[in-house]
Amino acid sequence: MLVFRQLFDLQSSTYSYLLGDRGSGDAVLIDPVFEQVRRDAALVAELGLTLRWTLETHIHADHVTGASLLRQRTGSRIALAAESGAEGADRYLRHDDTIAFGRHCLQVRATPGHTNGCLTYVLDDRSMAFTGDCLFIRGTGRTDFQQGDPQAMYRSVRDHIFGLPDDCLLYPAHDYRGLTVTSVAEERRFNPRLGGEIGLGDFTGYMQNLRLAHPKLLDVAVPANLRCGRPEHDGGAGKTVVDPVGDPAGDPAGDPDWAPLRYSFAGVWEIEPHGLEEHASGVQVLDVREPDEFTGPLGHIRGAILIPLGQLAERAEELSHDRPIVAVCRAGGRSAQATILLQQAGFKDIANLTGGMLRWRAEGHAVEGGSS
Ligand X SMILES: N[C@@H](CCC(=O)N[C@@H](CS)C(=O)NCC(=O)O)C(=O)O
Q: Which residues bind ligand X (CB under 6 A)?
A: 12, 60-62, 133, 139, 141-142, 174, 176, 212, 215-216
Q: Any idea what DSSP says for residue 2?
A: E
Smallest gap, in angstroms, from Cβ of residue 274 to ligand X?
44
Asked if residue 309 lies in contact with residue 291, where contact means CB atoms within 8 angstroms, the answer is: no
Closest CA to 360 of 293, 263, 271: 271
Residue 139 interaction partner, one of ligand X, Fe ion, none, beta carbon < 5-8 Å per kind: ligand X
How far is it, in rounded angstroms, from Cα 34 to Cα 152? 29
Closest CA to 38 of 62, 72, 86, 13: 72
Asked if residue 72 lies in contact with residue 238, where contact means CB atoms within 8 angstroms, the answer is: yes
Toward ligand X, which CB reaches closer, 93 or 217?
A: 217
Closest CA to 58 of 136, 113, 122: 113
Smallest gap, in angstroms, from Cβ of residue 61 to Fe ion?
5
Residue 252 interaction partner, one of ligand X, Fe ion, none, beta carbon < 5-8 Å per kind: none
Element (H, E) at 27: strand 26-30
**Stretch touching Fe ion by CB under 5 A, among 125-133, 234-242, 308-316, 345-353:** 125-133
Query: Residue 192 corresponds to which amino acid?
Result: P
Task: Give the per-residue contact string, 81-120, with Fe ion (x = CB under 5 A; - = no).
Answer: ----------------------------------------
Residues 6+ apart with CB under 8 A from 17: 4, 5, 6, 7, 29, 30, 31, 130, 171
| Cα–Cα distances in angstroms (integers) from residue 106 to residues 30, 78, 124, 166, 187, in the given order | 11, 15, 6, 18, 21
Toward ligand X, which CB reaches closer, 213 or 237?
A: 213
Smallest gap, in angstroms, from Cβ of residue 326 to ligand X?
39
Toward ligand X, which CB reaches closer, 192 or 333?
A: 192
Query: Residue 81 corresponds to which amino acid?
Result: A
Residue of minimal CB distance from Fe ion?
133
Toward ligand X, which CB reaches closer, 118 or 271?
A: 118
Toward ligand X, which CB reaches closer, 213 or 249?
A: 213
Smallest gap, in angstroms, from Cβ of residue 31 to Fe ion?
9
In sequence order, what are the beta bridge partners of 50?
A: 26
Toward Fe ion, which CB reaches closer, 56 or 287?
A: 56
Smallest gap, in angstroms, from Cβ of residue 28 to Fe ion?
19
Task: Give the per-residue contact string, 126-165, with Fe ion (x = CB under 5 A; - = no).
Answer: -------x--------------------------------
In terms of C-beta density within 10 A (0-12 exposed, 13-18 middle, 19 or more buried), how is residue 76 classed?
Answer: buried
Residue 215 interaction partner, one of ligand X, Fe ion, none, beta carbon < 5-8 Å per kind: ligand X
Number of residues located near Fe ion, criterion CB under 5 A: 1
Toward ligand X, which CB reaches closer, 175 or 272?
A: 175
Smallest gap, in angstroms, from Cβ of residue 333 to ligand X?
37
Toward Fe ion, which CB reaches closer, 174 or 289?
A: 174
Distance of alpha carbon 336 from the chain centroid: 21
Residues interacting with Fe ion, by CB under 5 A? 133
